[in-house]
Structure 1
Amino acid sequence: MSSNSGESSSKIPKTKSANQTNRDVDIAVKLALLILLLTILSRFFAIVNAGKRGVLMHLYLAV
């Protein structure tokens, strides 16, 4: 007689622990925020073609 108990237990998918899932969500949120921050910061830069002048504009608020 052979026992199939070891074989059947390997077919059961292992689930992640709550701690691992929270860590995965934390990493995903941080990555999304980093991409958003880099996207916003990249809007401050522009390529100025050769022979053209770049103009720096300041916004002065009256107090």
Structure 2
Amino acid sequence: MYLCQILSDEKLANIAEYFGLKSVGSVCPAISEMKKLEEKGEMGKVLNQVYRILNIKK
């Protein structure tokens, strides 16, 4: 398993715990949608919108 995958799994577990989800699997539908956006090359645009909504400075 690649290190990035391990780190990704840890981040997902933290996200699941933060939002009170019962398992990392609960995050999977969102990940699936993110992968679709990434394949279309639209991930950067979506992330910029999220940053703007959450008022996060890069």
TM-score (norm 2): 0.30
Q: Larger C-alpha radius of gyration, 1 or 2?
A: 1
Structure with more relative contact order (C-alpha pairs < 8 Å, separation 6 or more): 2
TM-score (norm 1): 0.28
Bigger helix share: 2
